[in-house]
Amino acid sequence: AGMSRVSAAERELEFQEADGKAALWREDICTSQIKRVAGELMHSSQEQFGQRKKELDAMLERVAAYEHFKKTPHQEAQVSMKAKTEEMSHRGQCAALEARQRVGEEMEDIAKRVVVAKEQLVKMR
């Protein structure tokens, strides 16, 4: 009876050992499959990243070109408007100076007329 127990225990041990080896073998297979899938995912992610980066770079280039295209006319318009503003300011200053000179001349003329009118008034008395 003791021998049969020993032999049953040995068979059980051999069965557990075989079962353990099979589990380790399955684990190794799963590990290699996980590594393969992870490598494929990493490669795919890198490709997608590279492709998306190219798309974004192209979009950035288009936006920069559009911004430059839109900015240049505004800069030219600002330069043109500045020149026109300076010209109009100069014209306005010249017109104001001429008006002051006319007013000064008219004031002198009026002062002379007042003097003449006073002289005539004195002569009439």
User: Sign of the C-alpha dihedral, residues 59, 60, 61, 65?
Assistant: positive
CA distance 49 to 5: 64
* Burial profile 38-65: b = 16 or more Cβ within 10 angstroms, e = fewer: eeeeeeeeeeeeeeeeeeeeeeeeeeee
User: Tens of pLDDT along 90-117?
Assistant: 999 999 999 999 999 999 999 999 999 9
Task: Please tell me the pTM assigned to this model.
Answer: 0.41
Assign 80 a pLDDT band (cuts: 50, 70, 90): confident
